[in-house]
A and B are shown apart, each in its own frame.
Chain A
Amino acid sequence: MHHIDLSSVLRETVSCDLYSNLVTRPTGAAVRVAIERMLGETDGRALTVIDLSQVSMIDFSCADEVIAKLVMRYAAADAPREVYFVFKGIGDDHWIAVESVLECHGLTVVLKTDDGFALAGPVTETETRAWEAVRLLGRTHAIAVAHETACDPAETERTLDGLWRRRVLVKLGGDYAAVGPYDG
């Protein structure tokens, strides 16, 4: 799994002592482009941790550029590669901006917290239950998830496929694995 420290990317991208915070749209765009360049240097499926733990502050515009646009690009039907993200080090101070942009664009992401992995962003109860079941079961098939959640298998398969398209589940042949616990 790749690990990308956003504070390092920030320093390397804009190379100026002033830039200790992830603020302004041009800064966010520059950081996103740098991340996309890094992702372009590897082949195949990529699981990537985006680490904000050394970032003191991120504003709405920068969160929109770095997080929302990054997730949207790699969750799109014409994504350049199969990339999955886990966001780490998102504290209460970051969450204000991150939550806002996830809500604004209807995006769902995987967070790594002290308690493990969790979904964040607008997500239904059915989707949460399905994702949690995959997380607990490990690499698994839709039938097992349907059994675990007491849901209709065909409906469960559609839910899991939707979560895969949003890049919070990895699809491995006929199986699914939760991004985060499954690290490639």
Chain B
Amino acid sequence: MTTVVQVPPSLDDRTFEQVLDQVALLPPDAKLLVDARHTLWASPYALTAMLTLAQTRTERPAFAVPDHDNTASYWARTGFFHHAESVFDLHGSFPKRAQTGESSVLLEITPIIKSEDVHGVVGRIQDKSQAILTGELHLDPKATIPFTMILSEVCQNIVEHAGTGGWVAVQTYNWKRRLGRRVVVISVCDAGKGFRQSLESTPGFLPGSRWGDGTALEQAVVQATSRFRDRGRGQGLAAARKYVTKWGGKLSVRSGTARISIVPAWDDDPPLEEGLAPFAGAQLQVIIPERLPQEPLR
């Protein structure tokens, strides 16, 4: 029997939880049809998380593509269908080839499996990110390098800690409903070990009474703890937290059944959520908002 998983009309990091809530009830080998026919919009996080979701299934799931032409066209331009064909059985019509020249797609959905992929991502994004960050988001021109460094570090986390491949995407869009301004969003998702399992592999690790996905995320994101004893490790996420805060942005990391967020004033997410539907690996999102003319340079 195939279970139909309904995808909400607007799919972002919050509403993607509705998808996970439905999937969590099913065994990993259950037959799934992920029904996105009525979906009109999806964030980069949602698209990369959707590919990750397929990777967590032992039985290859089916996916019904959005009915709306504009939606399907946009998803094609992000590279979603190109990669979805390798992890889903796709149903419905969609543009086969991504059109080039999509200015809002800074980095199409890109698989990250090995270190060379990180070099490719950094090389491809450098020129475009300068134009987007300073030209469209009005950030300090000096923001370009730390932005690229953060992207490099969060992609490396997949290679170093996940034990499996993952996906990265970078897009800009006008976040009218939530924030009323443009944002640039980095999304990095994998279906690997996740933070708890990674930290548990530290030599001599002894779990405390509160140990779980939430405490593992606190250690990794807030305390820059790594499974390696080397002091130089764990600095990538620490740097991401520092710069995202400086730019008035939001960093959220979901792993297992928990999500930790560095929450800016414009958002009302709780800093730590636990008891979420289980999802393998780690899913990270960075949102950097446009700087308005009256705000100081950051």
Contacts and interface: CB of A to CB of B under 8 A. Distances in A.
Question: Does B associate with A?
Answer: yes
A105 B146 contact: no
Nearest to A21: B122
Interface of B: 115-116, 118-120, 122-123, 126, 142, 145-146, 148-149, 152-153, 156, 159-160, 231-233, 235-236, 239
Q: How large is the interface on A (under 10, 10 to 19, 20 to 34, 35 or more residues)?
A: 20 to 34
Contacts of B239: 60, 100
A57 B122 contact: yes
A61 B146 contact: no
Contact of A61 (B116, B123, B236): B236
Residue of A25, A27, A64, A69 with most chain B CB atoms under a 10 A cut-off: A25
A24 B157 CA distance: 10
A20 B236 CA distance: 20
Given A92-B142, A93-B145, A18 B231 contact: no
Contacts of A68: 232
B163 to A, nearest CB: 16
B216 to A, nearest CB: 21
B122 A25 contact: no
Interface string A12-27: 0000101111011111
A19 B91 CA distance: 39
Contact of B120 (A18, A25, A60, A97): A18
Q: Is the interface of B mostly helix, strand, loop or mixed?
A: helix
A59 B142 contact: no
A21 B119 contact: yes
Given A21-B119, A24-B152, A64-B232, 4 more contacts: A21-B122, A23-B119, A61-B153, A101-B235
A104 B231 contact: yes
Contact of A60 (B126, B142, B160, B236): B236
Interface string A94-109: 0011001100110000
A113 interface: no
A104 B231 CA distance: 7
B145 A105 contact: no
A126 interface: no
A105 B232 CA distance: 7
A54 interface: no
A92 B126 CA distance: 16
A60 B153 contact: yes
A64 to B, nearest CB: 4
Given A57-B126, A61-B156, A96-B145, A23 B118 contact: yes
Contacts of B145: 57, 92-93, 96
Contacts of A93: 142, 145
Interface string A50-66: 00000011011100110
Contact of B119 (A18, A69, A92, A101): A18
Interface in A1-57: 16, 18-21, 23-27, 56-57
A21 B156 contact: no
B157 to A, nearest CB: 10
Nearest to B237: A60
A19 B235 contact: no
B235 A25 contact: no
Contacts of A57: 122, 126, 145, 148-149
A64 B156 CA distance: 14
